[in-house]
């Protein structure tokens, strides 16, 4: 059997990074406050990044930092300073897309691995060979590649060049995420980190000479999409991903909550580990994986381009509504002497509610909320203020880093 692939998890904040680490990540990828393509994500100050890298490394988890904008002239001086700051923090890898940014990273941080972002449109083995010659450690595959193509790429590139592929999450559908619509409609450049996700809006297309007649969108053989995409989910296809020779399984979602990250990380961690223990064990636990993966916010699922060019039914559909089966309440930051969970609450819940403790080991414990107090010791029936610090008494004692969630009744 091939080597076990890395499970690479996104983190939008220090809290989410710690969640990813505790719930099964081999590596996490994060963004600083500039030069990444998720400017709307909370992102990390240099202080938080330093703490996050130290926490991850203490748990044997690697940290990759994104700097994958397509840089303009005015970005380069600031990028140089940014890489100089990162050099001191010692992340395990830098993720870049732009050859200018790659050159700066190689010059300033020669001791840090460089990964070439999916933004560089890495669709053929000669592109991978090119980046290997430049000194890249890893290349992130374009989303438009099939598993057959990825397997051929692996066969034609140096053995020490790693290939990273998305395994779960939103699928950008302008070519490899190089979106033009955001800039056109809102003036916010997706390739500069300010995407407004116009691909999720609802559209109809009408040809000029046929007013009132709405025409379907067709894609060509290169796989270009313009409109709504489903979410990628490859939980049922771990064996095929492993056999293709993929070195790192990447979860999309650097703007997602701790609940999303914990749910997806824990599920894929168990699925990968089960498969490498026994193919039969992986098959036997499939219902659990599928049930768990549906407990975070998601849309309808697709296998993307991995098994060939998808049909319009597979990728585009009428309803792009997110499904939200569970609501995130908070993470157990620590446990008081009386066994109460100290959390910063994220959504409202009340004394008497039946909620669930989600544990990193894969277990889910149903509990009742017996009581809650503020930091001042005042008893309250519910959490009236967002982000309020609370001490919550449950019927079972939780552990630090457990996540509290409640089933969505709507």
Tell how strand 326-331 and strand 403-407 pair up.
antiparallel
Domains of the chain (ranges plus CATH)?
6-315 (3.20.20.70), 326-407 (2.40.30.10)
More confident residue, 382 or 163: 163
Q: How confident is the model at residue 217 (pLDDT cuts 50, 70, 90)?
A: very low
**pLDDT over 70 at 232, yes or no:** yes
The contacts found for 100-109 with CB under 8 angstroms, 24 or more apart, are: 100/71, 100/76, 101/35, 101/67, 101/68, 101/69, 101/71, 102/134, 102/136, 104/76, 104/79, 104/80, 105/67, 106/134, 106/135, 108/80, 108/83, 108/84, 109/83
Query: Which parts of 262-381 are beta strand (E)?
Result: 301-302, 326-331, 334-335, 341-344, 354-358, 364-374, 379-380
**Cα–Cα distance measured from residue 288 to residue 9, given in angstroms and rounded to the nearest whole number:** 20
Range with the poorest average pLDDT among 124-133, 141-150, 183-192: 183-192
Q: Are 366 and 354 in contact (CB under 8 A)?
A: yes
Q: The tokens of 270 are what?
A: 């168990």
| Confidence (pLDDT) at 144 | 85
| Confidence (pLDDT) at 132 | 98
Mean pLDDT of 402-407: 94
Q: How confident is the model at residue 6 (pLDDT cuts 50, 70, 90)?
A: very high
Mean pLDDT computed over every residue of the chain:
85
More confident residue, 175 or 301: 301
| Confidence (pLDDT) at 408 | 84
160: phi then psi, degrees, rounded to nearest 5: -90, 0
**Cα–Cα distance measured from residue 173 to residue 155, given in angstroms and rounded to the nearest whole number:** 27
Q: How confident is the model at residue 200 (pLDDT cuts 50, 70, 90)?
A: low
Closest CA to 23 of 306, 301, 400: 400
| Confidence (pLDDT) at 176 | 43
**Cα–Cα distance measured from residue 282 to residue 149, given in angstroms and rounded to the nearest whole number:** 25
Q: pLDDT tens digits, residue range 341-394? A: 999 999 999 999 999 999 999 999 999 999 999 999 999 999 777 789 999 999
Range with the poorest average pLDDT among 5-9, 204-208, 225-229, 292-296: 225-229
Residues, the chain: 410
**pLDDT over 90 at 338, yes or no:** yes
């Amino acid at each position: 059997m091939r080597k076990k692939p890395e499970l690479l998890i996104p983190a939008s904040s220090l809290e989410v990074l710690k969640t990813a680490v505790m719930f099964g990540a081999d590596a996490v990828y994060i963004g600083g406050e500039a030069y990444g393509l998720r400017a709307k994500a909370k992102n990390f100050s240099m202080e938080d990044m330093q703490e996050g890298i130290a926490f991850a490394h203490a748990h044997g988890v690697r940290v990759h930092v994104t700097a994958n904008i397509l840089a303009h002239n005015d970005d380069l001086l600031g990028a140089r300073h940014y890489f100089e700051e990162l050099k001191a923090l010692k992340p395990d890898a830098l993720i870049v897309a732009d050859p200018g940014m790659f050159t700066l990273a190689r010059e300033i941080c020669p001791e840090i691995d460089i990964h070439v972002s999916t933004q560089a449109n890495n669709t053929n083995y000669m592109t991978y060979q090119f980046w290997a010659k430049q000194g890249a450690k890893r290349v992130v595959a374009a989303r438009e590649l099939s598993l057959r193509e990825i397997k051929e790429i692996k066969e034609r590139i140096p053995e020490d060049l790693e290939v990273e592929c998305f395994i779960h999450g939103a699928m950008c559908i302008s070519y490899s995420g190089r979106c033009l619509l955001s800039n056109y409609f809102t003036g916010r450049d997706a390739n500069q980190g300010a995407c407004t996700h116009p691909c999720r809006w609802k559209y109809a297309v009408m040809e000029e000479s046929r007013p009132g007649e709405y025409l379907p969108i067709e894609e060509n053989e290169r796989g270009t999409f313009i409109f709504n995409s489903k979410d990628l989910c490859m939980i049922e296809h771990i064996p095929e991903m492993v056999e293709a020779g993929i070195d790192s399984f990447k979860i999309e979602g650097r703007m997602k909550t701790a609940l999303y990250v914990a749910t997806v990380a824990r599920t894929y961690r168990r699925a990968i580990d089960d498969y490498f223990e026994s193919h039969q064990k992986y098959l036997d636990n499939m219902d659990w994986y599928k049930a768990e993966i549906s407990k975070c916010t998601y849309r309808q699922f697709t296998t993307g381009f991995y098994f060939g060019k998808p049909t319009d039914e597979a990728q585009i559909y009428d309803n792009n509504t997110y499904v939200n089966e569970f609501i995130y309440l908070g993470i157990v930051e620590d446990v008081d002497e009386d066994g109460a969970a100290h959390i910063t609450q994220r959504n409202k819940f009340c004394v008497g509610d039946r909620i669930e403790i989600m544990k990193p080991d894969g277990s889910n414990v149903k509990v009742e909320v017996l009581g809650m107090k503020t930091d001042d010791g005042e008893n309250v029936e519910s959490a009236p203020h967002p982000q309020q610090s609370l001490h919550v008494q449950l019927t079972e004692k939780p552990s630090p880093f457990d996540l509290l969630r409640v089933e969505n009744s709507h």
